[in-house]
Amino acid sequence: MRFETAAIHAGQPPDPTTGSVIVPIYATSNFVRTSIDQTDGYEYSRVSNPTRAAAETCLATLEGARYALLFGSGMAAETAVLGLFKPGDHVVCTRDVYGGTVSLMNRIAPQRGIQVSYVNALDPQQVADAIQPNTRMLWLESPTNPLTYVLETPALVEIAKAHGLLTVFDNTFATPYLQNPLQWGVDIVVHSVTKYLGGHSDIIGGALVYNRDDLHDPLWDQQAVGGGILSPFESWLLLRGMKTLAVRMRAHCENAMAVARFLEEHPKVERVLYPGLPSHPHHERAKRLMRGFGGMVAVYLKTDRAGVNRFCTGMRYFRLASSLGGVESLVGYPATMSHSSLTPEERAAQGITDNLVRLSVGIEHIDDLIADLDSALAAL
C-alpha cells in the first residue's frame, strides 16, 4: 500500500458487525470475557481498546513500524520513555528541542535520578564527546522547534549505536509523510499527535512508534500500567485526521514555501528560517533526508517586543496560539509559549530572541495568508 492508501485503510477494515466503513468509537470500559481463563481479545479499555488499536495500527503502518502506542498527550508519551531508565542513568539531549521536552528533562528526570546533558547536536562530535559510561539514551528532534534546524540524523544514530544507546527521535514537525526516522536506525519515534497527525486542533495525544521487539513489553507497561492512554473518542478523531495527512501536508508545504519566500524579501523581516529556502543553513541536508519541508517557518522581525505583539495580534487569519499543525494558520511566540520554561540565558543560547515568531502555516488560500502577513508587517 502507498502512503495515501494506508492512511485510509490500514487497521480500518469495515466493521464486521454492521459493515460500517468507519471504525466505531468503542466507548466502553469493559468487554465480556468468554471464560475465566481468557487470555486474548479485549478485556478492559485501559489495557486495550479496538478504536485505539485501529489508530495504533494505522500510525505504525505510516511510520513503517511494527508497533505504535498512543498516549493521552505528547508529554505522556515522552514521560513513558523515561520509564525505561533507572536512577544513575544518563541522557544526552539535543539542545534545540521542544520546550516541553526541556521541562521533562529538567524537572521529571532528576526526580527519577536520571542525569541529562544538552549538546549542540548539529555537531556530531559534541554528541560523541558528551557520552559517558552511564549514558543510556540520545534524544533528537528534527526539524527542531522552533528554528527548523535539520540534524544529520543517520550520522548521530551511528554514534549512538556504537555506544549502545537508545535513540529517540521527535518526528512531530515532519510527520511520517515527510520522513521516517526508523529507516535511519532510530529506536523510538515520538509524536505529538495533537499536531499534524490529528491536524484539526481538536485532540490532545501522543505516540511512541518502534520496531524493536525487546522494547514492546516495557513500553506497553508504561502505557497500560501507567494508564496515560488515548481515549476511544480521541483515537477516532486521530484516525479521521490521518486519512487526510498526505493531502494536508502537501498543502502545508506549498503554502509554507510561498510564505517563506514572501517574508524573506520583506524589508521588515530580519531573517527567515525554513528548510525549503536555499538560504537555510541545512537546506541541502533537508533535501537529502526529507521528502518535503513542512509547514513551520521561523521568522525574526525587525522590531522590538512591543512590535512583535502588534504583529502577532494584528492578523485576521494567523491566530495567536500556543500549538501548531492544524489546518488553520497560527502564529506563536516561543519566548512566552513553547519555550517559556527556559531561562533567558538558555533561550538566548538557542537563538530564541524577543523578535522571533513561529508560524504554523495552514491550508487557507495562499493569497489570503500573504495579504494577512503583509498587513501586519505594514503596522510595524
Active-site residues: which are they? 46, 98, 170, 195
What values do phi and psi take at 95, rounded to 5?
-65, -40
Contact yes or no for 97/129 (Cβ under 8 A):
no
Q: Which residues contact 83 (CB under 8 A, 6 or more apart)?
A: 218, 221, 222, 226
Strand partners, 168: 139, 188
Distance CA 37, CA 92 (A): 45
Distance CA 322, CA 336 (A): 9
Strand partners, 300: 271, 356
- CA diameter of the chain: 73
Quote the cell numbers at residue 248: 494536508
Contact yes or no for 101/170 (Cβ under 8 A):
yes
What single-letter DSSP state applies at residue 118? E
Residue with cell 529538567: 106
The arrangement of strands across the sheet holding 115-119 comes to 67-71, 206-210, 188-192, 166-170, 135-141, 90-94, 115-119
Distance CA 186, CA 130 (A): 19
Distance CA 61, CA 6 (A): 7
